[in-house]
Structure formats: C-alpha cells, structure tokens
Amino acid sequence: MFERTRTVVAVAMLTVATYATAVEVNGGHPETYVVRKGDTLWDISARFLKKPWLWPEIWQANPQVKNPHLIYPGDVLSLAYLDRVVAQPGPRQEAPINGIPLDQVEPFLKQLSVVDEVKSLPFVAGLEDNRLRATSGQTAYVRGLDGAEVGQRYAVVRPTVRYALPKPTEDLTANGDVTPGSGNLWKNFIAPSKRNQTLGYELAQVNIGTVTKVASGNVDVTSIALQTQIGGREVRVGDRLVPVEATPYDLQFFPHVPAAQTESLDIRVLAVTDMFLAGGPRDVIAISAGRADGVDNGTVVSLWRQGRFVANKMKYPGSSRMDDSLTDGAGRIAMPDEYAAHAMVFRTFDKVSYALVMQGVKPVQVGYSAKHPDAQ
C-alpha cells in the first residue's frame, strides 16, 4: 500500500467581463501580496479565487503574460478590481514556485508505479549466501532478465496491491498473487460500482542495482549488485525488476478541469495514504482513472460520499431495516451525495492516478466518487 500569480495584466476590460461570470474572487483579500519561498500556485490562487483551479484560464486569456505558469518569490501581486490580478515582477533570484507542495508528493513520484500485470516481469530468484533478505552492498540473483548487459541499472520493485473495481484494493502475496479474501471487506462500506475490472498493480521501489554478471552456461540467473536502498525496505525472493526510468515524473503541476471524456466514468478513490480507510488535506490518494481515460497531471476533481438509502421511519416505524444502505429498496429514501474535498492529480498511469487532497470539509474515504470540480 502506498504511504502521505505570476498572474495577469488584465488591461482589456473585455477580458475581465468575459471571465466575470466564471470566476469568483474571495472577499477580504489583501490589496497586495508578495510571493514567498514555499508558496504554491494553488495556495496563492486560493487567496484570490474561490475556485483555484480556474487561474490558468484567466491568465492564458491575456497575451501580455508570456508564461502564465511561472511565478517567482518576490513577485508582487495586486488585486485591484474584480477578476483583475496584476503582477509586478520581483528580483528573479530563486526558482519559480510549484503548483503543489513537492515535499508532499516526492516520495510517491520516486517510489511508486502502476503496471498492467506483474507475472511477466523478471524476478529475484535468490540472494547472496542464500539470505532471506538483502540490502545495499549485497547481490541478488535474477531470473528472466533476458538481454541484460553488464552495467545496466534496474529498479527492484515489490507488487503491493491490485487496484480493481468493485473491490478497490486487494493485497498481494510475495509472488504477486492476490491474497485470498483480502478484498471481501470492501463491499460492506463502499457503494456498488458500475465498473468491474482490474486497473493495475502497484509496485513499490525497494532498491536500485547494477548488472555485474549475465546468465551464461549452466547459470540461469543474472547477478545484480544492490546499491540504493529505498524506504527502508530489504530485497527478498519474489521481488520484480523494471528498467530505471531517466525522468519518471514531472516537477511542474498546473491545476485544470478534467477532460470531457471523463464525465461519464465511474471514478472512485481506491486507496488513501498510509491509511486504511480515510485521509484529509495533503494526503495522497489513488483514483480509478488514468491516461487512457484522459486524466493528466494537474487534473482537479471533487470527491463525494455517495448518497445512501435510509429507512422511511415515518412510514415504517417498526422496520428493522438497516438505516444506511448502499443500495435502494422498498421503504427507503434516497439521500444526496455529500461533498468532501478537492484533489489534484500529480502522477498518472494507464488506468490509475495518484492525487493530492488539496482542501475539503470532511475526510476522504476509500470508495468515494470523483467528479468535476464544479459539481454541485
């Protein structure tokens, strides 16, 4: 399981009028704000806008802004008129700030990935001195690393969970199989899903090693010198290997609304950072949509508790029916969905993405639905 402006010179009143209906400005904002190191684009936008994910649309509508995605410590922001944010460039002595706090997501950028299947990946067949565990400075023997050459680097990864619907997560055994019964409990508190499919297998990085000797003659395995331990984990038999990615993730994240093609999808929260069930702001979640569904870095979603079906106690006062059912039935009253929080995607795979919970009014739980950020 996984673990936790430069803005716009809006001199054209037409531009201001165009966005006046789409953008609401927060009340009580300061007249000026000096960007500081440690700020994020989301947090600064939230000072001025009730919908922080709309700022790129406003900035990009102004041709005076050469790069609406860059804001630097020392820049002075002035909010003088409705939907008009003016920037005075600062000294430009430091790097531009990011859309979200990198320190919150960097471990997930570096250490986790999601693949369609694991059985075909090369695996650790044995360890130096027939150890049960190995770490940096020791050797792992790998089967199935065909075509490897001395000096090549590989990441040792461990399959942790299978992401799927309607069961959001199922724990995996050492050889990558689903642990029998591990997903059964989800049905007790997660509303039924319209989807029934495997979405991918999460891989947690354990170590990085270099090929020192390839399989030849009577030897069936490739020798890997373990060099970089990650997350305090030790290598064990059954761990898998994947090539080291030169640039596996982006470092710039800019909020925007989801692509139109995601509107018809039943997108759910699959897992929450270091938690069994629930999390809050600055926690990382996994959701059941990815690149194949039109989700990319910066996609903002709102997260909702699905409306339950309660017993009609006025009509059936003696009923013994459960009062918080996940499905409809005779004598029940349908309740509305309830807003919990907003989240922004920061890394995507084919059918799964990781997102950071940005702000909310209640904890986010596994099984909650993801909708358009403007959903009511």
> Coil, strand, or helix at residue 140?
strand
CA distances, 243 to each of 43, 124, 158 (Å): 36, 14, 14
User: Considering the domain boundaries, does residue 98 fall inside one?
Assistant: no
Give the pLDDT score at 190: 87
Q: 148 φ, ψ to 5°?
A: -70, 150
Please list, in sequence order, all residues whose beta carbon lies within 8 angstroms of the beta carbon of residue 116, skipping any fewer than 6 positions away.
200, 201, 350
Question: 221: domain range?
Answer: 110-243
Asked whether the beta carbons of 230 and 207 are under 8 A apart, the reply is yes
Assess whether 118 and 237 both reside in one domain.
yes
7 in any annotated domain: no
> Which pLDDT score, from 0 to 100, does residue 23 have?
57
Regarding whether 124 and 46 lie in a shared domain, the answer is no
- 282 and 235 in a common domain: no
Six token digits for residue 268: 């759910």
Judge if 233 and 266 occupy the same domain: no
Given its phi and psi angles, is residue 21 left (phi above 0), alpha (psi -120 to 50 degrees) or beta? alpha
Tokens at 82, concatenated: 């409705």
Query: Do residues 62 and 123 share a domain?
Result: no
At 40 the pLDDT is: 83
pLDDT at position 17, please? 32
Q: What is the pLDDT of residue 121?
A: 96
Q: Is residue 99 part of a domain?
A: no
Residues 227 and 119 in one domain: yes
Q: What is the CATH number of the domain that holds 314?
A: 2.40.10.410
Residue 28 pLDDT: 65
Judgement on whether residues 214 and 149 belong to the same structural domain of the protein? yes
**Which residues make Cβ contacts (< 8 Å) with residue 130, sequence separation at least 6?**
none
Residue 250 lies in a domain: no
Residue 59's H or E segment, with its range, is: helix 55-60
All residues at 6 or more sequence positions from 348 whose CB lies less than 8 Å from its CB, including other chains: 290, 291, 295, 296, 297, 354
Return averaged pLDDT per consecutive 10 residues of the chain, 376 residues in all: 35 31 60 82 79 69 57 74 60 79 80 93 96 96 94 95 92 87 80 90 95 93 94 92 80 83 92 85 94 93 94 81 81 93 94 93 95 91
In a domain, residue 309? The reply is: yes
Q: What are phi and psi of 96, to 5 degrees?
A: -65, 155
Question: Phi and psi dihedrals of 124, rounded to 5?
Answer: -75, 115
Clarify whether residues 117 and 231 are in a common domain.
yes
Nearest CA-CA partner of 43 in 34, 52, 51: 52
